Amino acid sequence: MSTKQKHNTNPFEMALKQVDLAARHMDLEPGLVARLKSPEKEVIAHFPARMSDGQLKIFTGYRVQHNDTRGPYKGGLRYHPLTDLDEVRALAMWMTWKSAVVNIPFGGAKGGIQCNPKEMSSTEIESMTRRFTYEISSIIGPDLDIPAPDVYTNPQVMAWIMDTYSIIQGRTVGGVVTGKPLELGGSLGRFEATGKGVFITALEAVKSKGLQMEGQKVAIQGSGNVGGVAARYFAQAGCKVVALSDSKGGVYNPGGLDVEHALACKNKYACVMGPEIEGEEINNEQLLTLDCDILVPSALEGVITKHNASQIQAGIIAEGANGPTTPGADAILEDKGVLIVPDILANAGGVTVSYFEWVQNLQNLLWSEKEIDSRLTGILQKSFAEVRKTSQQKKVGMRVAALILGIDRVVSAMKLRGIYP
């Protein structure tokens, strides 16, 4: 049972409460706050796809478009059995604030299909993906809404979406998605971007406390595109990655894990606790409360709650996942003096390099990996400094500070555009 199920965490209620917390420190009229809390469009599609045994199966998919005041809707597409409308609503809202925090010209959206891709063949996933693309083809596009990879989706899935959309349009439209394979106009550095961004912002947090990254003990929940990539960067910086996990469980070694070996075991055996791994087998809830300096929750939302926040020993939390910490847990952690690098800042590397990919597609360019790395690092360092400054000026935690910064940018754009008619 997931923490989300166990404690009945509703991510959309979390997102709404976060807006209210930020609004207390802002001079916003009630109607404007209500608009910020309401998605602009929601699509629910119940659609068929042909399975390998020849039978039709009905799937439920969602696309929520929260706000496009500052630019096209932007957000990932996830495949997960627990995906529901409230989850997608929350993720879409967080995408709006995330794009604004790093000050790139996107709005926020999110999508998901309720399915278990681990129990589906590649052919079945392709069939499902292409049919869902057809269902939402009228509301996506390079200047409308641009999907990207998320939980259990990848560049191949983006390639299927791009191809299906292009067939419908009668021409190749590379900019309809980001996170594509390089061969189809993807960007160098996109796969690593979210995990790398977690590391970059965690490094800024460590420096802000007057500490050195080398020797820091890091526990990472999740070992996929975010957690696994971040683990490599932490290890390369001289940190001790003491714990790593996936959906099946994790491994803990207080002396530090061999990250490459653990990730190789995951690829080979579908779990990080493979043969010859030196460490103690743990579950995902135990990982959160281990003795460590930096905790990186990079799996699903709602895993740090008021029920386990007091047991967390890390001095810094860098949120690789979206919404991993509930508002009730935030209050406990702030009282303990934990420095939280919130999700809308910590994992914004993905949307930032997605923006780079989108720009390259529109202009038929290909930037070097060095150029992308330099631009990404600069944007995240600047964004961290702006959130930190807001935190100190407003005397609020980093999450509320990031929300204030992001919401203020959206509100400023909304006021400039006005309401028509």
Question: Among 40-49, 242-251, 339-348, 396-405, which is the least confidently predicted range?
Answer: 242-251
Higher pLDDT: 8 or 299? It is 299
- Which amino acid belongs to residue 371? E
Instruction: Calculate mean pLDDT across residues 95-113.
Output: 98
Peptide bond before residue 297 is cis, with ω within 30 degrees of 0: no
Helical spans, DSSP H, in 249-306: 259-269, 284-288
pLDDT tens-place string over residues 366-391: 999 999 999 999 999 999 999 999 99
Do 187 and 367 contact (CB within 8 A), yes or no? Answer: yes
Q: Which long-range contacts (CB under 8 A, 24 or more apart) does 258-265 make?
A: 259/231, 259/232, 259/234, 259/235, 260/232, 260/235, 262/223, 262/231, 263/223, 263/228, 263/231, 263/232
Predicted confidence at residue 1, as pLDDT, reads 35
Pairwise CA distance, residues 300 & 78, whole Å = 11
If we measure between CA atoms, which residue out of 152, 153, 207, 206 comes closest to residue 178? 153
Q: Is the pLDDT of residue 272 over 90?
A: no
Strand order of the sheet with strand 240-246?
A: 280-282, 249-252, 240-246, 217-221, 294-297, 316-318, 339-341
Can you give the pLDDT at residue 3? 41
Across all residues in the chain, what is the average pLDDT?
Answer: 94
Contacts of 305 (CB under 8 A, 6+ apart): 3, 7, 9, 326, 328, 329
**Domains recognised in the chain with CATH numbers:** 41-176 (3.40.50.10860), 193-341 (3.40.50.720)
- Look up the pTM and report it: 0.94
CB neighbour burial string for 82-94, b if at least 16 within 10 angstroms, e if fewer:
ebebbbbbbbbbb
Q: Which residues are catalytic?
A: 110
